[in-house]
Amino acid sequence: MNQSSTSRISSPDVLRGFVIILMALDHIRDFFGSTPFQPEDLTQTYPALFFTRWITHLCAPIFVFLAGTSAWLYGNKVKDKNLLSRFLLTRGIWFVLLEFLVVNTSLMFDWPWHKGFVFVQVLWAIGCSMIIMAGLVRLPMRWILGFGIVLIAGHNLLDGIRPETWGNLSWLWKVMHVGGSFIPFTDSFGLIVAYPLIPWIGVMALGYSFGPIMRWEPARRQSFLWKCGLGIQVFFVVLRATNWYGDLQDWSPQERGGIYSFLSFLNATKYPPSLLYLCMTLGLGALLLWLFERWKSPVTSFLQVYGQVPFFFYIIHFSLVHLLSKLYYGWEYDFFFSSPDSWPKDYVPNLGLVYLVWALFISAMYFVCRWYGNYKFSHTHWWLKYL
């Protein structure tokens, strides 16, 4: 057997590490550099702020895609569809529970029911997609691939369907496709869905279908990644230029100048993730994976430390970043779920501060992640598969 089929390939870990530290940048910006407008608001943003937000768009699609790839690699290792299905089901339920209980508590520093809502995002999307994949993995691979492509390419055809047309089931359409809505459970408690499920399930199914490619010979795999990534990016540019299909908002020339027109072109819709948003991010992800296949250096070794324990990093970083924010600005101030009126009186958004905190935080977390990675790979406790 060749090396590519018998050993762990490092490039997905490096790519995961790359996007995990970008994710930390986005969340540190939320807690240390919040602005009273969205960074994508072309009437108020500026290029450095826009690109600080835009580059982090890579995170969720690549996380979900590689979660699907990891599921195939695990199934290929255990050679048992029943075991794979059970693992995906239990891990998916675990992820959803952690989103509801741990992540929300970390974001709020309070129990969600005291705030009156639960906010669900990427762990929710990954967990629910795993639950669906627990059934899909029993199907032929070509069906799973087709299912993923149809959901990703076709879900924007559903944009015109409004939740109200579903009557008492309007909540279901918000969960599956619309997102960004408050779904009441009672008069005083509800769910805010940032990540509607239909496109994310498609991304995980596509990632699962990509799994066998990771067992190809390196030269063949790298050729595929380069051609596929470049082809998807060309497709994005052509389709985006036409404003014909694939996104809720068209791009347009901006009165503020050519750079803002370019930003408008890049400003694809994330909530819910449009076809163009997923092409832009997953196409770039394929090119980055190609790069990390070919480039071995201290930088990639550094990134790999984070990428081997991404879930561990994700779970603990919210609490740490939130705590640092409160220590810096004062315990009475919060940014994530508050209006600008409640921010410190002398507060001025400072992108330089965001990058400084990010650099220090990532440097410190390197040692924490390296310790946990060494522990995880030197022990065989069953629960380590869930962290």
Q: Map 102-140 to HEC letters.
A: HHHHHHHCCCHHHHCEEEECHHHHHHHHHHHHHHHCCCC
CA nearest to 60, candidates 235, 233, 157, 196: 196
Structure confidence by residue, pLDDT tens digits, 329-347: 999 998 888 889 999 999 9
Intra-chain end-to-end CA distance of the chain, in Å: 31
> 107-145: string of b/e by CB count within 10 Å (b at 16+)?
bbeeebeeeebbbbbbbbbbbbbbbbbbebbeeeeeebb
Helix (H, G, I), strand (E, B) or coil at 283: helix
Band of pLDDT at residue 7, cut at 50, 70 and 90: low
Backbone angles phi, psi at 190, to 5 degrees: -160, -170
**What pTM did the predictor assign?**
0.94
Q: Is the pLDDT at 189 greater than 60, yes or no?
A: yes
User: What is the rounded average pLDDT of the residues 200-212?
Assistant: 98
Q: Is the pLDDT at 325 greater than 60, yes or no?
A: yes
pLDDT cut 90: percent of the chain above it? 83
C-beta separation of 37 from 53 below 8 A: no
Number of H helices, E strands in the chain: 17, 3
User: What is the rounded average pLDDT of the residues 367-381?
Assistant: 90
User: What is the rounded average pLDDT of the residues 59-77?
Assistant: 96
Structure confidence by residue, pLDDT tens digits, 217-227: 999 999 999 99
Is residue 146 classed exposed, middle or buried when 0-12, 13-18 and 19+ CB atoms within 10 A define those classes?
middle
Structure confidence by residue, pLDDT tens digits, 232-248: 999 999 999 999 999 99
DSSP conformation class of 359: H
Residue located via tokens 């290929």: 76
State the Cα–Cα distance between residues 160 and 147, nearest whole angstrom.
Answer: 21
Residue 136: per-residue pLDDT: 97
